[in-house]
Amino acid sequence: MEAVMDTRKTLTERVLFALAFELLAVALCAPLLAWLMGKPLDHMGALTLMMSLLAMAWNVVFNGVFERAERRLGLRRTVALRVVHASLFEGGLVALAVPLVAWWLGVSWWEALLFDIGILLFFLPYTMAFNWGYDVLRARWIAHRVAARPC
């Protein structure tokens, strides 16, 4: 009888996933936000880094809960489920980030919410594309490991 490989994600994999996601996001966002907001790169870079650390923690927690629910409910990663996943993730992150943005930029919560909505317009498709790409690459890696395994 052939052994089945466990394909659940470990905590280490979740942390590495979050780091890759956030490093790419910081590299894209810090200079773009500095330019769009007319603020110094170091000021917007610090905000981007703080938001990234917040997002990494949220990413690990949210994806762990989401994937557990996904398994229990027997859901498949369809386009619709990916939209739900990205929307719930980003909605939760906005709720966590608004107080940070308001404090760092010295703006009202309303202005911070508008700022976060602008960020969301970038991150919603970025999140969906990054997760989808990761899933495709991970599936190929697992298939390669299964194929290379001795019988």
pLDDT at residue 3 greater than cutoff 70: no
DSSP letter (8 states) at residue 78: -
Tens digits of per-residue pLDDT, 102-127? 999 999 999 999 999 888 888 888 88
List the domain boundaries for the chain: 12-148
Residue 111 to residues 59, 76, 103, 116, Cα–Cα distance (Å): 24, 38, 11, 9
Tens digits of per-residue pLDDT, 18-57? 888 888 889 889 999 999 889 999 999 999 999 989 988 8
Tens digits of per-residue pLDDT, 132-149? 999 999 999 888 888 887
Residue 66's region, left for phi above 0, alpha for psi from -120 to 50, else beta, is alpha
Q: Which burial class, exposed, middle or buried, applies to 48 when counting CB atoms under 10 A from its CB (0-12, 13-18, 19+)?
A: buried
Q: Which of 60, 42, 38, 39 is nearest to 50 (CA)?
A: 42
In sequence order, the 6+-apart residues with CB closer than 8 A to the CB of 34 are 40, 41, 43, 44, 45
